[in-house]
């Protein structure tokens, strides 16, 4: 069975974006004339086979697929990008050594079904909260350098409304792991929770901005509500309205918050490009 595939514009959406919602997709942008590409590809194919379906290897020849290369801003080959849930979450350029590539892949793979981490997550999903928390604590002590343990543990703590404990755990991540998309999303949720807990409900806030459209604080609180709902369009629209009416509000807080949302969504998300353009039009 082959775990790699050549992709073009016609099947890109299905084989990369849609597939990445169920399995990590490693996209290798290469060229026939590129020497390092020829040394890298056999390693990637070997690892795809070795990992036995834990990720999918996709190969895109840049000269034949120039639109895809342009879409992903490929400036040199080989360039390898990891796609998960429809978004690019990590990448590297050049022909890395096999151990470095293995390390790159491992940090983006979910825990296996039989791993202690997955068992703890499963316990929590089945309502066995005490058991899950105890197992998470044991795993954290056994694997202090595994960032996914801290992130998954923090996720459970947040669901249990232990927000301070979750924040402490996330803050204990190193600088690089704090930029993991999963960690960024949790940090963003915590910030929104802090804002919402001190704010009126959505209906009341909507009435406030209807009566006073220039009320930036109400719009900022609405943004937090919308983010917790996962409605990033509504959240970003509120931030743009703050910027349009009062750029200096709370030390340029709306623009800074908009940039944080861009980080959470990821650079390849269609909303990021759309709202970057809207932001640029307001600022310049």
Of 19, 31, 34, 60, which is the active-site residue? Answer: 34
Distances (CA, A) of 276 to 38, 86, 236: 37, 19, 10
223 classed as catalytic: no
Of 37, 68, 240, 265, which is the active-site residue? Answer: 37
**Helix 232-245 / helix 270-283 crossing angle, nearest 10 deg:** 10
Helical H segments across the chain, by residue range = 9-12, 35-50, 66-71, 98-106, 116-125, 129-142, 147-159, 163-171, 175-178, 181-197, 202-211, 216-229, 232-245, 253-265, 270-283
* Rounded Cα gap, residues 205 and 81, in angstroms: 41
Residues 6+ positions from 154 with CB-CB distance below 8 Å: 166, 167, 169, 170, 183, 186
What residues are labeled active site? 34, 37
């Amino acid at each position: 069975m082959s775990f790699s595939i050549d992709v073009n514009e016609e099947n890109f959406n299905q084989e990369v974006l849609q597939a990445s919602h169920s399995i990590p997709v490693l996209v290798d942008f290469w060229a026939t004339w590129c020497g390092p590409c020829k040394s890298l590809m056999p390693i990637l194919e070997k690892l795809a086979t070795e990992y036995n379906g834990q990720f999918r290897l996709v190969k895109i020849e840049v000269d034949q697929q120039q639109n895809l290369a342009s879409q992903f801003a490929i400036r040199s080959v080989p360039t390898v990008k990891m796609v998960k849930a429809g978004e690019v979450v990590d990448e590297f350029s050049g022909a890395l050594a096999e151990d470095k590539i293995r390390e790159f892949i491992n940090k983006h793979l979910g825990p296996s079904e039989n791993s202690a981490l997955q068992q703890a997550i499963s316990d929590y999903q089945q309502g066995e909260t005490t058991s899950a928390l105890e197992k998470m604590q044991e795993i954290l002590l056994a694997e202090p350098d595994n960032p996914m343990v801290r992130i998954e543990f923090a996720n459970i703590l947040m669901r249990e409304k232990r927000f301070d404990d979750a924040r402490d755990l996330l803050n204990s991540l190193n600088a690089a792991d704090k930029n993991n998309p999963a960690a960024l999303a949790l940090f963003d949720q915590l910030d929104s929770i802090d804002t919402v807990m001190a704010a009126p409900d959505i209906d009341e806030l909507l009435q406030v901005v209807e009566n006073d459209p220039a009320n930036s604080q109400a719009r900022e609180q609405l943004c937090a509500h919308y983010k917790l709902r996962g409605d990033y369009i509504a959240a970003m629209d509120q931030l743009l309205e703050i910027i349009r009416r009062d750029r200096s509000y709370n030390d340029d807080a709306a623009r800074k918050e908009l940039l944080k949302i861009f980080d959470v969504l990821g650079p390849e998300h269609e909303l990021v490009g759309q709202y970057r353009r809207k932001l640029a039009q307001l600022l310049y």
